[in-house]
Amino acid sequence: MRLRTKYILFVVILHLVALVLTYFIFNKDKIWFIVSEVFVIISIVIAIQLYRQLIQPLKTLMQGVEAIKDRDFNVKFLSTGKHEIDQLTDVYNQMMDELRTERTRQEQQHFFLEKLIFTSPTGIIILDYDDNVQQINPKALQIIGSEAVQVLNYPIDKLTHPLFKQVKRLRSGETVVIKPDGINTYKLQKSHFIDRGFSRHFIMIEDLTAEIVAAEKNVYGKVIRMMAHEVNNTVGPVNSIIQSALKTDQLWEGHQFNTLKDALQVAVDRNQNLNFFMRNFAELVKLPAANKQPVDLHQLVSSVSKLMGIKAKDREIKFDFQFADGSFKIMADEQQIEQVLINIVKNAIEAIDKNGTITFKTTPDKKSLVISDTGSGISAEQTANLFSPFFSTKKDGQGIGLTLVREILVNHGFDFSLKTITFKKTNFIILFT
């Protein structure tokens, strides 16, 4: 029962009792009866006035409570001139001012945090209490190559991207650097924060590819320049001396030194091979800026396939062309992209070794070229190092082919990937966007 109801009930009962008592007085003395009635009426008037004075603060308080329920912190009350009510009004107004200030501050902080997350160059994924993806920023979506609807509200354990597989193994506070596709390098950090008394996790994904590539290039550039300098300083004079000796007939007159002359010629040839070996490395360091011009990709692929056709035919490897209708124009440095395609096709031929198929498929609306081979495929261990300088899966490989491919495609701003999709199917995908 409400306080107001209790008060009214008490006053009604009290005055009913007073009226009954005056009825008995009426039978004895009419004058006292009249006096009693006057006092009862005065009491009723006073009770009504007190009721109004007591209920008004309660009404004011209830109005304030309703405003707080509605989160309307702009409602304030004016002074009434009554001490008790004015005290309540002052306290309420101060409280509303504090709440309004705090809400404004929190809204500004929340807006700033949302803006910071949205524009951050670091991928950020925020999970709810059950480790479902509650929020993900554009950079993280770009890194995983997905749309928001494909990720939001899904459990982190159900997402199949390689980065999420690594995230599952991380504990809060741990950091790891991974290279899931052999091309891009990412730093993953998992941490947590307290929200309403419970722990929630968030993941930060930092793309280190550009920094790693620049550091690698700086290191292997210095190494290659040093090696080239030493090799040239040695090979040049040695070859000059040997060739001079071979051309001096007086040294060989009357003597049977054919075996020695052959050995010296072999030494010259090996030195030339060493020079060629070093020139291949030097291409990584001296790669010029891309001179982009309109290029018909279909014609370029056809030209490269003719160039590599003899080698493929010797190994009973067929070329399958699945070109889209019409021409496929891209903006690129034709010579450099030709070098890229030669390296890709050469690797595909060597991966197949004998009797297989290399497929060229273009999709103009996606601006993509897919080169598939039926070779032995790439293992998970090899994937992480494919594009690393000097790494090769072949015994006599120099480890510069895919590194050169990476340098050219990165300089052009083309996205690419190399992975084994299924058994006997490995795709090299280039996106010309």
pLDDT tens digits, one per residue of 306-315: 888 888 888 9
pLDDT averaged over every residue in the chain:
80
Percent of the chain surpassing pLDDT 90: 18
Contact 89, 80 (CB under 8 A): yes
Tens of pLDDT, residues 328-370? 999 999 988 998 999 899 989 988 988 999 999 999 888 999 9
Place of tokens 């309703």: 66
pLDDT band (50, 70, 90) for residue 428: very high
Q: What are all long-range contacts of 31-36, with beta carbons under 8 Å and residues at least 24 apart?
A: none
Average confidence (pLDDT) over 15-40: 67
What is the predicted pLDDT for the residue at 106?
Answer: 85
- Residue 351: what pLDDT? 87
Q: What does the block give as tokens for 156?
A: 């982190």
Calpha distance 333→295 (Å, rounded) = 8
The pTM (predicted TM-score) of the whole model is: 0.56
pLDDT confidence of 254, banded at 50, 70, 90?
low
Question: Can you read off the two tokens belonging to residue 432?
Answer: 């010309």
The class (CATH top level) of 120-207 is alpha beta
Q: Which residue has the higher pLDDT, 61 or 116?
A: 116
Residue with tokens 């690797």: 347
Q: Are the beta carbons of 427 and 370 closer than 8 angstroms?
A: yes
CB 428 within 8 A of CB 344: yes
398 pLDDT more than 60: no
Please tell me the predicted confidence (pLDDT) of residue 124.
93
State how far the Cα of 182 lies from the Cα of 178, in Å rounded to an integer: 9
Stretch among 81-90, 198-207, 294-303 having the lowest mean pLDDT: 81-90
Q: How confident is the model at residue 431 (pLDDT cuts 50, 70, 90)?
A: very high
Tokens, residue 381 = 């261990």
Among 223, 218, 213, which residue's Cα sits nearest to residue 281? 223
Closest CA to 389 of 260, 281, 231, 229: 281
The closest alpha carbon to 124, from 209, 210, 198, 189, belongs to: 189
CATH superfamily of 293-431: Histidine kinase-like ATPase, C-terminal domain (3.30.565.10)
